[in-house]
Amino acid sequence: MNDDFTGNARHSRLAQFHIDTPLLLGLLALIGFGLMVLYSASGQSIVMMERQMIRLGIALAVMVAFAQIKPQTLKRWSFPLFLVGVALLVAVMLVGSVGKGAQRWLDLGFMMFQPSEVMKLAVPMAVAWFISSHSLPPRIWHLLGGALLCVVPTLLIAQQPDLGTSILIATAGVFVLFLSGMSWRLIAVVAGLISAFLPILWLFLMREYQRQRVLTFLNPESDPLGSGYHIIQSKIAIGSGGFDGKGWLHGTQSQLEFLPERHTDFIFAVLSEEFGMLGVLILLAIYLFIIVRCMIISSRAQDNYSKLVAGSFTLTFFVYVFVNIGMVSGLLPVVGVPLPLVSFGGTSMVTLMAAFGVIMSVGTHKRMLAAP
Amino acid sequence: MFKKRVAIQDFAAESRLFNQRAVFAILFVVLMFSIIVFNQYQLQVVSYQDYQTRSEGNRIKVVPLAPNRGLIYDRSGILLAENRPVFSLELVPEQIKDMTATLAELAALIEFSAEQQDAFLKQVRAQRRFNSITLKEQLNDQEVAILAANQHRFPGVTVEARLSRHYPFGDLFTHALGYIGKINTRELQQLELDGEAANYAASRDIGKIGLERFYQRELHGTMGYQEVEVNNRGRLIRVLRSVPAVSGQNIHLGLDVGLQLTAQQILKQHRGAIVAIDPRDGAVLAFYSNPSYDANLFVHGISSANYNELLNSRDRPLINRVTQGVYPPASTIKPHLALLGLETRTITTSTKIWDPGYYTLPNSDHRFRDHIRWGHGWVDIYTAITKSCDTFFYDMGIKLGIDRISEYMSKMGFGEKTGIDILEESSANMPSRGWKRARHNQPWYPGDTVPLSIGQSYWTTTPLQLAVATTPLLNRGKLVTPHMVTAFSNGETTAANNLPPRQVLEVENEQNYAVVMDTMHQTVSILGGTAHRAFIGAQYSSAGKTGTAQLAAIAQDAKYDADAIDERLRDNAMYLGYAPHDKPTILVVVALENAGGGGSTAAPLARQLMDYYFTAGVNRDE
């Protein structure tokens, strides 16, 4: 376990700043590849590149900042942070700004703030805090308590409405429960309950546009110029890329603007078109490297809270990747999830890097503990 | 369960449990990524061709290029139908924010009618928003200049230049050339049936009548196209490939502008037709129907007022009298019957009959009148033709009988379409027993044969048919196919439109043809011939036959008085003539409606046409 890949950051100079070198290299590789794709997807817009780089700079700074915080400190602040987050969500519900038909933003005067971003971190942290205060595997009451911590913010976000984010946040919490050793039998029961819940979701909780997205996903050709347009053009872009792609800046689907949202949610289609299946394999390899590295950090962590938080963040990151690629390539319905660290976009990137900061913190802050 | 209640945490067990879950999670991630890879493989490798094609379909648009329509020239190379640039005002609704305001502002600059605006708005509703729609066609130079100067004020408003058909001689060639107009639904269906529709993707117009219609395929040419790359808004990015259109073939006519102008000039006072052909090969030299109309009216869509005027005119200008004017041939067919009489030995050159001024059938007292009340006295075939004796032909006709007349005349081309290269043609009527049975459900009576023998009653021809059916007399039994187009050219090569004459008559005795031609020559050349006076002083020797077709039935013993009957029931005047009399190069038929006697009114017109023909040296080289 002590080879180069698993990384022994202790001897690295970066380790002094609580930076995990392999993970940083993985992230930088991803960011570099992402910027290259974005340059093409944005129609070679220097302005957009600058904005993205500034955001990435901020996000990296946030990551480094979070890496400095000790896991114990984070654990102590987990529940208060969660309570603040819930309070903010309630505030959004009462006084938030409406944008694109959804009430998600809180106007702080100098900036718009999306409390649901805080909850992406706060929910798994709070659940991990709650679960790890008891021995593992958790008992049913602890699991129910953890589930309750998930449900409250999930419902608050779902009613904004932001179904995508609410499901992702719930998932992050559930990952904590899963990693904590929740029994397989219980997992099966929960899965059954969720299946039973789906019709209720469809009939009572989903808005018309959300239902439409699912219908479009099931049969995009039914409305090729309307809601099916995105997914059809996206699949054409991907498919026409072939094995080795059309070449950087030479994707006709993206350069001639047939592909909508090409620099944000559908940037994976641009990558597929210009770099082909080869480029996709490289991207997936980078993602896999990051995920595996993070899971190794998690498993080496010396307390349950750190393990659970880092593991949950890692799996959530994977879910982002999978949901985005799945929706762009037609495996999943279209939900507004960006491709982590590649799509053009702000807040979610900062949140994501904060999570990596937490993981790095977990990986580099060692507490001497005697094994029993 | 019991074991797990211990208060002290089992770190090793907890760590093992987490690692199990972590490994499981990694395996799950790998499985999910494998699904993505499998899906990518399906999209990018297995279905690559399909998506590649769809991607190309997105980006590449094929823009058809209309070929230039072939030009039409007269026999000396004068342009009769050309393509001129015309400018039209077009609007793209998608690029116009406020259509009402734009139209109001445009109206302040140039004139367009409420009718044009309504038609435009109807098209705006019917067509896709990014299609360019015409508001006004045929802008004049001033309007083009005004619009160009104000272009910046009107995004989405453009002045489009297009080649459009123009007929510089206006009404002079209308019945021959016809005209083109916008392709209608029925024509589009026909093009689809013929598998031609693809070639018309960029074409707006199609030949509607006349030569423009008959030679549509040759004149149209082959469409070209450009493959262009477009973006998602259909804006052209660049041209990838260009295949130029191939212009239609130019066609060269046997018609002569000078001869045609002469025909128009001399027909001015009459409703009628003049046609002149070269009897040796059937090339049409002159082709004029009066009244005519300006073909240019139809090119851009004729207004309903103009169209109604043409349609409802009592003089019926839309009728092509050369090929659709159905007239009794009257005495002009006497030479044809004479040939039949000679060939069947029904008569000889020495046969003489007594003409008392009328003819009666055996056992009947009905008198079939001669046009000379007092009769011609003793008449042989020469006198019968030069003085146009009816009684001689009544007698011969009865001897020949309807069957032989009908069969022989049909062979010469009577009652048949001539096959000229325009489609607006009537076959007129050569009656027979079978025809009468079918048409009137009556047997053929000898009394029907009598007037038939002088080209009346059921027998009708068109002026062109009469001319063409005369060619076997001059060509030893060979019939020509009349044609206006003598050659096709495409700028590099020229191909003659040769249509060799067909032998339709079995010649019994060559001499008979000379006899018949001789009688026609004498009609002109000897004093007392019905066409003599019309040709006094002509610089060439010609031959001919006059005809006067009676339209009003005249009671037994009554006298025809032109002034006493309605103008439109007066006699039609016909003349059939050719020159030079021994080796004819021009054959003319003049048909005048309600004009009186053939010798006095029609023959002088034929003379004028032939005068021009010989003085101007038309057809000299041939």
Report the pLDDT averaged over residues A271-287: 96
Among B164, B150, B156, smallest CA distance to B110 is for B150
A132-188 per-position pLDDT tens digit: 888 878 888 888 888 899 999 998 888 877 777 888 898 999 899 999 888 888 889
**Cis amide bond preceding A161, omega within 30:** yes
Which among B470, B448, B604, B441 is positioned nearest to B534, based on CA atoms?
B604
Q: Do B10 and A372 touch (CB under 8 A)?
A: yes
CB spacing of A288 vs B21 below 8 angstroms: no
Q: What is the pLDDT of residues B294-352, one digit of tens each?
A: 999 888 778 888 888 888 888 889 999 999 999 999 999 999 999 999 999 999 999 99
Q: Considering only CB atoms, which chain A residues are within 8 Å of B59?
A: 252-253, 256, 258
pLDDT digits (tens, 9 = 90+) for B187-224: 989 998 988 888 888 888 899 999 999 999 999 999 98
Gap between the Cα atoms of A330 and B202, Å rounded: 39
Q: Is the peptide bond between A340 and the residue preceding it cis, with omega within 30 degrees of 0?
A: no
Inform me whether the C-beta atom of residue B236 falls under 8 Å from chain A C-beta atoms: no
| Predicted pLDDT of residue B9 | 62
d(CA B59, CA B233): 10
Closest-CA residue of chain A to B53: A240
Q: Which residues of A touch B55 (CB under 8 A)?
A: 236-237, 239-240, 252-253
Q: Which two tokens stand for residue B73?
A: 């020239």
| Residue B312: per-residue pLDDT | 87
| Residue from A256, A314, A332 whose CB has the most chain B CBs within 10 Å, to mutate | A256
The pLDDT confidence band at residue A297, using thresholds 50, 70 and 90, is very high
Contact A242 B233 (CB under 8 A): no
Nearest to A116 by CA among A127, A107, A105: A105
SS3 content of chain A, % helix, strand, coil (to 5): 70, 5, 25
- For residues A240-246, give the mean pLDDT: 92
Q: Residue A97 pLDDT > 70, yes or no?
A: no
A326 shares contact with chain B (CB less than 8 Å): yes
Kindly report the number of other CB atoms within 10 A of residue B617's CB atom: 10
Q: Of how many residues is chain B composed?
A: 622
Task: List C-alpha distances in Å: A288 to A172, A282, A309, B35, B467.
Answer: 18, 10, 19, 14, 94
Q: Check whether the bond before B580 is cis (ω within 30° of 0).
A: yes
Q: A300 at the B interface (CB within 8 A)?
A: no
Query: For residue A133, what are its two tokens?
Result: 């205060």
* pLDDT given for residue A74 in this prediction: 92
Beta bridge partners of B60: B229
Residue of chain B whose Cα is closest to the Cα of A320? B29
| Residue from B5, B21, B42 to probe the interface with A (highest A Cβ count within 10 Å) | B21
User: Cβ separation of A304 and B18 shorter than 8 Å?
Assistant: yes
Residue-level pLDDT at A3? 43
- Concatenating the DSSP letter of every residue in B24-71 gives HHHHHHHHHHHHHHHHHHIIIIISHHHHHHHHHHHHEEEEEEPPPPPP
A256·B47 Cβ contact <8 A: no
Contact A311 B22 (CB under 8 A): yes
**What distance, in Å, lies between the first and last C-alpha atoms of chain A?**
21
Q: What is the dihedral of CA A143, A149, A151, A156, to 10 degrees?
A: 180
The answer to whether A256 contacts B229, with C-beta atoms less than 8 Å apart, is: yes
Asked if A242 reaches chain B (Cβ–Cβ under 8 Å), the answer is: yes
B288: CB partners within 8 A, 6+ apart: B172, B175, B260, B263, B264, B267, B273, B274, B275, B322
Contacts of B6 in chain A (CB under 8 A): 135
Contacts of B15 in chain A (CB under 8 A): 299
Instruction: Give, to the nearest 10 degrees, the angle between helix B390-412 and helix B433-440.
Output: 90
**Contact call for B21 and A181, based on CB within 8 A:** yes
Classify residue B166 by its DSSP letter. Answer: E
ipTM: 0.91
| Residue B377 in tokens | 């006295």
Which tens digit of pLDDT belongs to each residue from B552-605? 655 555 556 666 667 777 889 999 999 999 999 999 999 999 888 888 899 999
Smallest Cβ–Cβ distance between A136 and the set B14, B39, B55 belongs to B14
3-state helix/strand/coil string of B550-562: CCCCCCCCCCCCH
Q: Label residue B6 by pLDDT band (50, 70, 90).
A: very low
Find the catalytic residue in B164, B331, B432, B453.
B331
A257 band by pLDDT with thresholds 50, 70 and 90 = confident
Q: Residue B617 has what DSSP assignment?
A: T
By C-alpha distance, the chain B residue nearest A253 is B55
Closest-CA distance of chain B to residue A97, Å = 32
Give the model's pLDDT for residue B492. Answer: 80
Chain A residues with CB inside 8 Å of B236's CB?
none
For residues B158 and B193, give the distance between their C-alpha atoms in angstroms, rounded to a whole number. Answer: 35
User: Taking CB atoms and an 8 Å limit, are B43 and A304 in contact across chains?
Assistant: no
Using an 8 Å CB-CB cutoff, list chain B residues near A272.
40, 43-44
Contacts of A281 in chain B (CB under 8 A): 37
> Helices in B416-537 by DSSP H: which ranges?
433-440, 446-452, 463-474, 510-525
Decide if B61 touches A, using CB distance below 8 A: no
Please check whether residue B416 is in contact with residue B426, taking contact to mean a CB–CB distance below 8 angstroms: no
Which of A273, A255, A263 is CA-nearest to residue A343? A263
Q: Is B38 on the interface with A (CB under 8 A)?
A: no
Known active-site residue B55: no
The token pair that represents A146 in the structure block: 């953890």
Of all residues in chain B, the one with the smallest CA distance to A259 is B232
Q: What is the band of B234 on the pLDDT scale with cuts at 50, 70, 90?
A: low
Provide the pairing of β-strand B157-166 with B79-91. antiparallel
Closest chain A residue to B21, measured at CA? A179
**For the residues A2-10, what does the mean pLDDT come to?**
46
Average pLDDT over all residues of chain B: 89
What is the spatial distance between Cα B80 and Cα B98, in angstroms, rounded to a whole number? 44
In the numeric block, the tokens 């809601």 are attached to: A227
pLDDT exceeds 70 at position A110: no
Task: Please classify residue B196 by burial: count the beta carbons closer than 10 Å to its beta carbon, then call 0-12 exposed, 13-18 middle and 19+ buried.
Answer: middle
Best residue in A1, A131, A133, A135 to probe B by mutation, most B CBs within 10 Å? A135
Report the length, in residues, of chain A: 372
Distance CA(B117)–CA(B134), nearest Å, equals 10
Instruction: Give B41 to chain A, closest Cα distance, Å.
Output: 7
Question: Given pLDDT bands bounded at 50, 70 and 90, which one contains residue A371?
Answer: very low
Q: What is the pLDDT of residues B474-509, one digit of tens each?
A: 999 999 999 999 999 987 888 888 889 999 999 889
A-to-B residue pairs, Cβ atoms closer than 8 angstroms = 147
> Are B44 and A238 within 8 A, CB to CB?
yes
Backbone angles phi, psi at A317, to 5 degrees: -55, -45
Q: Does B237 touch chain A (CB under 8 A)?
A: yes
pLDDT of residue B233: 66
**Cα atoms in the Cβ-side hemisphere of radius 13 Å centred on B321:** 22
